[in-house]
Amino acid sequence: MNPRPQVLVIPRAHLERVATFQGFLPDRPGLLEQILEPTELRFMDRDAAEGDPNFKQLIPYMVIRHGSHFLAYTRGKKGSETRLHALKSIGVGGHVEPCDGPARDALLLGMMRELREELHLSSPTTEQFLGLINDDSNEVGAVHLGLAYLIDVVEEPMCADLALVNPILEPLASLRAKADQFETWSRLLMEGQAGLDSPELPLKRFEAVQQQQKSKASLRRGDS
């Protein structure tokens, strides 16, 4: 029998000790480290977490930028979150799982796994933490906390996940003009406070994480 899927969570009480807010909270010194306090991180059965607003499931929500254009798509019926089907989005990502490593290390490794599962990317990427997304106004947002990242890619991204329907690269201004078609988290990031139009980062900060993933895969295969 397959074990029940588990996801990385933090107690809602811990989030509220760090910051009480609704909507988008821009990054500030120490914010990410406070949220990812190791003593507060734990894995929880996903079915239980989906019905318990006392916990927040941590979701890396990655906005993909290629030059001056951003990846947008429609959430198709093959996606696991049925409550978001048919909504447009600029965020890719998903739950962090025990296969990504110990809770204290799992976030970045989980982000890289999600990128590989959802996009065809052969070149290194750069990442910039933008801030937190919290929206308790609906049943999806009540049990999830978004960790928003801006991911710059060198090559034009190609979608690998069939749940990402009608992908398109568009300038930020064009996306903002039709923001009412997008899911709440995407709208919050497009409202102007997230820094999506900040300069590209020159450092390939994901390279170390990519090497960790390769090392884990080699160990699983028994490579020398």
Report, as an integer, the average pLDDT of 160-178: 90
Q: How confident is the model at residue 141 (pLDDT cuts 50, 70, 90)?
A: very high
pLDDT band at 217; cut points 50, 70, 90: very low
- 193 within some domain: yes
Q: DSSP letters along 119-132, please? A: EE--S-EEEEEEEE
Here the CATH number for the domain that contains residue 139 is 3.90.79.10
Question: What average pLDDT does this structure show over 112-127?
Answer: 84
**How large is the average pLDDT for residues 41-63?**
96
Torsion angle in degrees (nearest 10) through CA of 196, 199, 203, 205: -10
The model's confidence at residue 122, banded by pLDDT at 50, 70 and 90, is confident
Task: Decide if 106 is inside a domain.
Answer: yes
Q: How confident is the model at residue 2 (pLDDT cuts 50, 70, 90)?
A: low
Asked whether residue 108 is assigned to any structural domain, the reply reads yes
Q: How long a stretch of residues is the chain? A: 224
The pLDDT value given to residue 163: 81
Taking 90 as the threshold, does the pLDDT of residue 85 lie above it?
A: no
Region 2-11 average pLDDT: 90
Q: What is the mean pLDDT of residues 80-87?
A: 59
Statement: residue 194 has pLDDT above 50: yes
In a domain, 123, yes or no: yes
The number of domains in the chain is 1
Is the model's pLDDT at 82 over the cut of 60?
no
* DSSP secondary structure of 79-113: SS-GGGTT-EESEE-----GGG-STTTHHHHHHHH
Give the residue-averaged pLDDT of 157-177: 90
For the stretch 170-184, pLDDT in tens is 999 999 999 999 999
- Residue 38 is predicted with a pLDDT of 94
Residue 31 lies in a domain: yes
Residue keyed to tokens 């450092």 = 203
Mean pLDDT (the chain, rounded): 85
pLDDT value of position 220: 47
Residue 110 lies in a domain: yes
How many other C-beta atoms lie within 10 A of the C-beta of residue 222?
6
What's the pLDDT score for residue 198?
80
Q: Which residue has the higher pLDDT, 122 or 60?
A: 60
**Least confident window among 52-56, 63-67, 212-216:** 212-216
pLDDT for residue 148 is more than 80: yes
Residue 153 lies in a domain: yes
Confidence (pLDDT) at 185? 95
Q: Is residue 206 over pLDDT 60? A: no
Give the domain extent around 100. 6-221
Is 1 within the bounds of a domain?
Answer: no
